[in-house]
Structure 1
Amino acid sequence: MELEAIIRRAREQGASDVHLEGGMPMALRVRGTLRLVGEPVPSSTLTALAREVVGEDGWHEFLERCSYDVSRTLEGQRIRINVLRSARGVGFAIRLLSTSQATLKRLNLHPDLRRLVEPTHGLVLVSGPTGSGKTSTQAALLQELNLGEARHIITVESPIEYALVPRQSFIRQREVGRDTPSFEQALIDAMREDPDVLMVGEMREPEVMRLTLNAAETGHLVLATVHSASAGEALSRVVSAFPPEMQAAVCAQLADCLVGVVCQRLRYRPEVGLRVPECEVLMASTAVKSIVRQGAFYKIPSAIETGAADGCWSFARYADWLAKKTDWSQPTPAPEDAPAPEPIDELRATPMARTRPATVTRLPPSAARPKRSPPPAESRPGEEGVFVIQGEQDDLVSLIRELEGGGSRE
Structure 2
Amino acid sequence: MVAAECEQASVCRIGQFGSPCGDGFKHLGGVVGLDGRIAGVGQAEQFAHVHGMGDRVSLEVLGGIADGAGPEACAGAEGDTGVVGHAVDGPVDGLGLLAHILEAWIACKGGDAGKPWLDPSVWQLRSQMSHREMVARSGGELCHCRQIVQKTSLSVCARYDESAATRSRQEALMLSGSITIQKLLGAMKKLDASDLHIKVGIPPTYRIGGRLRPIESDPLTEEEADHLLDPIIEPAKMERYNKTGNLDFAWHLPDGDRFRINVFRSGNHTHAAIRRVKAEIPDYNDLHLPPVYERLVNETSEGLILVVGVTGCGKSSTQAAMVNQVNLTRSENIITVEDPVEYRFTPAKSIISQREIGIDVESFPVALRYVVRQDPDVIFIGEMRDHETVLSAIQAAETGHLVFATLHTADTMQAFGRMLEFFPESERDFIRSSLASSLRAILAQRLLPAVPGFETKVVPATEVLLFNTTVREHVRENQEEDLPAIINSSRGEGMHSFTQSLADLVNKEWIDLPTAMDYAPNREALQSMVRGLEVKASTLVGRIRQKGS
TM range (shorter): 0.7 to 0.9
Kept in 1: contact 2:181–2:229 (CA 8 A): no
Kept in 2: contact 1:104–1:144 (CA 8 A): no
Kept in 2: contact 1:157–1:176 (CA 8 A): yes
TM-score by length of 1: 0.77
Kept in 2: contact 1:236–1:297 (CA 8 A): no
How far does residue 327 in structure 1 lie from its aligned partner after superposition?
10
Of structures 1 and 2, the one with the larger relative CO (CA 8 A, separation 6+) is 1
How far does residue 200 in structure 1 lie from its aligned partner after superposition?
0.7
Q: State the 4+ residue runs in structure 1 displaced beyond 6 angstroms.
A: none
Alignment of 1:70-149 (within 5 A): 70-74=249-253, 75-87=255-267, 89-117=269-297, 118-149=299-330
How far does residue 37 in structure 1 lie from its aligned partner after superposition?
1.1
Kept in 1: contact 2:303–2:398 (CA 8 A): yes
Is 1:43 aligned with 2:226? no
How far does residue 320 in structure 1 lie from its aligned partner after superposition?
3.2
Using the alignment, how far apart are the partners of 2:382 and 2:356 within structure 1?
A: 10
TM-score by length of 2: 0.58
Instruction: Indicate the residue corresponding to 2:433 in structure 1.
Output: 252
Instruction: Indicate the residue corresponding to 2:49 in structure 1.
Output: none
Kept in 1: contact 2:200–2:225 (CA 8 A): yes
Instruction: Indicate the residue corresponding to 1:370 in structure 2.
Output: none
Alignment of 1:347-362 (within 5 A): none
2:286 is paired with a residue of what secondary structure? coil
The structure carrying a bigger helix percent of its residues is 2
Using the alignment, how far apart are the partners of 2:355 and 2:271 within structure 1?
A: 26
Alignment of 1:204-223 (within 5 A): 204-223=385-404
How far does residue 50 in structure 1 lie from its aligned partner after superposition?
2.8
How far does residue 38 in structure 1 lie from its aligned partner after superposition?
2.2
Alignment of 1:292-331 (within 5 A): 292-325=475-508
Kept in 2: contact 1:282–1:312 (CA 8 A): yes
Using the alignment, how far apart are the partners of 2:263 and 2:229 within structure 1?
A: 7
Kept in 2: contact 1:260–1:284 (CA 8 A): yes
Alignment of 1:1-80 (within 5 A): 1-39=179-217, 40-74=219-253, 75-80=255-260
1:187 is paired with a residue of what secondary structure? helix
Map Cα deviations across residues 295-325 of structure 1 (whole Å, 9 max, x no partner).
2111111111111122211112222333454
How far does residue 88 in structure 1 lie from its aligned partner after superposition?
6.1
Kept in 1: contact 2:446–2:462 (CA 8 A): yes
Instruction: Indicate the residue corresponding to 2:472 in structure 1.
Output: 289
Is 1:279 aligned with 2:462? yes
Larger deviation: 111-120 or 256-265? 111-120
Using the alignment, how far apart are the partners of 1:141 and 1:237 within structure 2?
A: 23
Amino acid at match of 1:133: G
Kept in 2: contact 1:22–1:88 (CA 8 A): no
Using the alignment, how far apart are the partners of 2:411 and 2:386 within structure 1?
A: 20
Amino acid at match of 2:368: L
Using the alignment, how far apart are the partners of 2:476 and 2:231 within structure 1?
A: 51
Kept in 1: contact 2:397–2:438 (CA 8 A): yes
How far does residue 8 in structure 1 lie from its aligned partner after superposition?
2.4
Percent of aligned pairs with the same residue? 35
Using the alignment, how far apart are the partners of 1:38 and 1:327 within structure 2?
A: 32
Structure 1, gaps ≥5 residues long:
329-410
Kept in 1: contact 2:232–2:251 (CA 8 A): no
Aligned length: 328
Using the alignment, how far apart are the partners of 1:325 and 1:164 within structure 2?
A: 32
Structure 2, gaps ≥5 residues long:
1-178, 512-549
